[in-house]
């Protein structure tokens, strides 16, 4: 960092000295101040551009060059105009300034199209459009996405943005042991996904320097790639849907795959603790779903046969309510259950 600071100071001093020698203005002090201000402006632009992706910078350069070429072409086509007229001179000047500016702005905003993967796709034969699945930090740390990829149910190209990798690395380098373990688990899951046969993983350098939050960067990237966002984050899911981004929520998928328990069906559960209401017992299915059983307080620590009376759907999953079947106390420990949400 000290070398960067020293290089910037030397650059400003060099520009000031050049202005003092060339003398674009009258007087020594104005020339030194003019050179220093110009050098500081260039350094400011360099600092602002250091977080800009290469594709966006290249897009701005190409756009500006195309705009300048169009401006010169239009200017040459207007050779017949009277250059002594102030209106004609102003029109030439406006075209020469406006077209390169518009080219730079449009090229910078559409710089992601210069990504190598997209450039290759432009020269491919007509076929099904490449489908992108953008992974967020929560779904990588969760880990179930690797099992879904292994079974082949998640198609398309899995996109892992660089800013997500930076966030995972920051979590893995945390001083908190719990956060550090979660970050390392996420990095291990990514390595596992990359090694799966038939799974296409792309590390994207596309960034949005004007957007600070990682969640909003993910939404912007999903919009630019016209892809689907893969997450387990409930709030990100809602915000993305409001922005018109299609979301694949692993929790929704898990809940959808769980068998439906209907009133009247029977199951065997292990009563673990007392419920909130009088004479209730609480059990849990293998997937963590809470089962509330009436008249089961005396059966804590035992397996009982219960009859399902109702199923309550919540934002977090399902809760099953039931009552103990007649003569159902069973001596064994382990319950058999099919999963239904948590």
- Which tens digit of pLDDT belongs to each residue from 239-266? 999 999 999 999 888 877 776 778 888 8
Distance CA 183, CA 168 (A): 5
> For residue 78, how many C-alpha atoms fall within 13 Å in the half-sphere facing its CB?
19
Pick the residue with more confidence: 299 or 339?
A: 299
Percent of residues, the chain, with pLDDT higher than 90:
27
283-307 pLDDT per residue, tens: 988 777 889 999 888 888 888 998 9
**Ordered domains of the chain (ranges, CATH):** 2-113 (no CATH), 128-256 (3.40.50.1010), 266-330 (2.40.50.140)
211 contacts 220 by C-beta, under 8 angstroms: yes
Distance CA 294, CA 317 (A): 21
Distance CA 215, CA 237 (A): 10
β pairing state of 303-314 and 280-284: unpaired
Minimal CA–CA distance to 6: which of 43, 59, 37, 58? 43
31-87 pLDDT per residue, tens: 888 888 988 888 888 887 777 777 778 888 888 899 899 988 888 887 777 777 777
Sheet with 132-135, strands from edge to edge, namely 200-204, 157-161, 132-135, 228-231, 247-249
Residues 6+ apart with CB under 8 A from 187: 168, 169, 172
Q: How far is it between the farthest Cα atoms of the chain?
A: 108
Minimal CA–CA distance to 262: which of 296, 301, 310? 310
**Residue 114 pLDDT:** 73
Pick the residue with more confidence: 149 or 114?
A: 149
């Amino acid at each position: 960092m000290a070398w960067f600071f020293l290089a910037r100071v030397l650059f400003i001093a060099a520009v000031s000295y050049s202005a003092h020698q060339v003398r674009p203005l009258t007087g020594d002090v104005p020339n030194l101040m003019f050179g220093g201000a110009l050098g500081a402006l260039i350094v400011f632009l360099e600092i602002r551009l250091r977080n800009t992706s290469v594709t966006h910078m290249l897009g701005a350069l190409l756009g500006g060059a195309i705009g300048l070429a169009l401006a010169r072409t239009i200017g040459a086509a207007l050779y017949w105009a009277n250059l002594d007229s102030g209106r004609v001179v102003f029109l030439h000047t406006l075209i020469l300034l406006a077209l390169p500016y518009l080219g730079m702005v449009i090229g910078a905003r559409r710089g992601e199209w210069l990504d190598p993967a997209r450039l290759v796709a432009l020269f491919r034969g007509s076929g099904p459009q490449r489908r992108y699945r953008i992974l967020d930090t929560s779904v990588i740390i969760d880990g179930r996405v690797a099992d879904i990829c292994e079974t082949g149910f998640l198609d398309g190209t899995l996109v892992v943005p660089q800013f997500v990798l930076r966030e995972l690395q920051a979590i893995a380098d945390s001083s908190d042991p719990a956060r550090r373990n979660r970050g390392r688990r996420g990095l291990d899951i990514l390595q596992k996904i990359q090694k799966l046969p038939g799974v296409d993983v792309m590390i994207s350098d596309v960034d949005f320097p004007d957007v600070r939050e990682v969640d909003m960067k993910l939404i912007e990237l999903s919009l630019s790639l016209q892809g689907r966002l893969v997450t387990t984050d409930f709030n990100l899911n809602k915000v993305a849907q409001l922005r018109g981004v299609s979301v694949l929520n692993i929790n929704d998928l898990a809940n959808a795959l769980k068998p439906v328990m209907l009133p009247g069906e029977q199951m065997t559960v292990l009563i673990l603790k007392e419920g909130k209401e009088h004479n209730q017992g609480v059990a849990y299915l293998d997937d963590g779903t809470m089962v509330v059983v009436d008249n089961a307080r005396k059966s804590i620590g035992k397996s009982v046969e219960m009859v399902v009376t109702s199923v309550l759907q919540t934002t977090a999953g399902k809760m099953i309510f039931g009552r103990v079947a007649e003569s159902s106390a069973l001596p064994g420990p382990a319950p058999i259950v099919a999963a239904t949400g948590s």
